[in-house]
A and B are shown apart, each in its own frame.
Chain A
Amino acid sequence: MNLKWFIYSFFLVYSAGISIAQETPDQYIGFDWGFAFFKSKPSDTDHIRGDVTSFHTESSTSGLVCISFRSSSGAKFETYRVNSRIGLAAGLRFSQFVQNMGKWGLLATGVNHFYWLYNQEGVITDYARVKSISQTSNYMGFPAEIRFFASNSYRRVRLYFKAGAEMEIRLRTKTEIRFKYDSMKSFENVVTSQVSKPSFFGMTLYNCIGLNIGGGRKPSLGLEAFIPVLNRRPGSPGLLSNIYGGGLQFNLQIPVQSKMR
């Protein structure tokens, strides 16, 4: 998907949505909890021995297994416009990325380790046998969303489509190395310093299709699927570079002001 096209169309529609409505809008406080899995590939290929080009498939049985998982929870303020057919939302979201790269005994054939090049000095070269590397990063994000309801507000179950973008600031990153032998633990700091850290700023873009149940003057529930979610970190992607992902998100909306029945 073309990233520029996505951002451009998102903000165009978002601006149009704001300018459309003049009436006093319905207002909601929303809470969301979501997760997504990403197709990903290793970033630090200069340190990994092997055919890295084949590593990116998560279910690979011969190469490295790469798993990238994002969980999030957030709070939003949302207003409905145009007879409650368009929703505009903005808020705060905390997310955590857990990325793991390794040879998993159950999935990988052959040996359950890979080689990490951690030193090259003159004619001396040192590899460490590593079972897995995991990296956990926490982010604070500022999401902005627009959603279009397929039906009017009189229906209790409403289908909707959503487009969202989230600017993220990295709060913390922790990297852990699992060596094949504990005797190499003393080199953990050396290897950790060679694993890429994700850049300070990042962006998540997503499209969703979902169902909203309830509403009006009562709280409503929403269940939506990400199709797809993109995550980009200009500069350094971190341990794994995310290609695209898919997942689910749950929403709870509490009306602050509603004219809906």
Chain B
Amino acid sequence: MDDSALRRSIFIKDPEYAGLPKYSEWGYNTFGAYINDETFSSGDIQAPAVIESNDTSMSFVLTGEKGTDISGKTRMSMTFVIPGFAPENYQDLTFLDDSAINLQLSGCRVLITMGTIQYEADTLTGELLFKRVQNLFVDLNPEEIILSGTFDFNAYLNDHPIHVSHGRFDVGIEPGTFYHEYPYQ
């Protein structure tokens, strides 16, 4: 069942961290983090999170805006590529519940896309934490998977050091935002 009201973003500002959404676990379709001194957040973007999966890995893609109204906003995506986990459908994501992923692990990649240019971050330290994964039923019908958690890392991006801090996400993944690439038979 498609419930369009659940797809909307509800951006509740964090009073402590300006420009970021307050941490939540309701499937508000928001995320945010500081990249050095700038904010990167879901802003007004609908469906800011997408999962792409193939036979060897899963990519968790967050698309939003970097910067502020004053400094100017740039569309940006941050992709976490997690090897060894290949969900075949969106409900398989519940296996991620309460799991921490060390971004230094071999095969873990962080890709950052600004405009049409994609950069791969050379991660020094960092963690992606799926604090809570919920299989959401609305009026007894399966609706979406809510992924809620945090992330932060230090890396070199295009030879420049970056510090991503106070990252948090609360997003809903449903068949429309889950893409599985089947291997050729």
Contacts and interface: CB of A to CB of B under 8 A. Distances in A.
Given A49-B26, A50-B10, A123 B135 contact: yes
B159 interface: no
Interface residues of A, number: 21
A130 to B, nearest CB: 10
B136 A127 contact: yes
Contacts of B134: 120, 123-125
Interface residues of B, number: 20
B146 A125 contact: yes
Interface string B1-30: 001111000101000000000000011000
A23 interface: no
A148 B3 CA distance: 59
B78 interface: no
Interface string A113-148: 101000010011111110000000000000000000
A25 B139 CA distance: 65
Given A126-B137, A184-B139, A111 B5 contact: yes
B5 A181 contact: no
Nearest to A115: B138
B97 interface: yes
Secondary structure of the A side of the interface?
Answer: mixed
Contacts of B94: 123
A126 to B, nearest CB: 5
Contacts of B12: 51, 53
B139 A128 contact: yes
A145 to B, nearest CB: 42
Contacts of B10: 49-51
A124 B137 contact: yes
Nearest to A180: B139
B5 A110 contact: yes
A123 B26 CA distance: 13
Interface string B128-155: 0000011111111001001000000000
A49 B27 CA distance: 9
Interface string A164-186: 00000000000000011101100
Contacts of B97: 123
Nearest to A48: B26
B24 to A, nearest CB: 9
A260 B138 CA distance: 68
A127 B137 contact: yes
A100 B134 CA distance: 30
Given A49-B26, A51-B10, A111-B5, A123 B140 contact: no
Contact of A183 (B3, B6, B139, B146): B139
A50 B22 CA distance: 12
A202 to B, nearest CB: 31
Interface string A32-62: 0000000000000000011101000000000
Contact of B139 (A50, A124, A125, A129): A129
Interface of B: 3-6, 10, 12, 26-27, 94, 97, 133-140, 143, 146
Closest 10 A/B residue pairs (Cβ): A125-B134, A123-B94, A111-B5, A127-B138, A126-B137, A49-B26, A125-B136, A123-B135, A123-B97, A51-B12
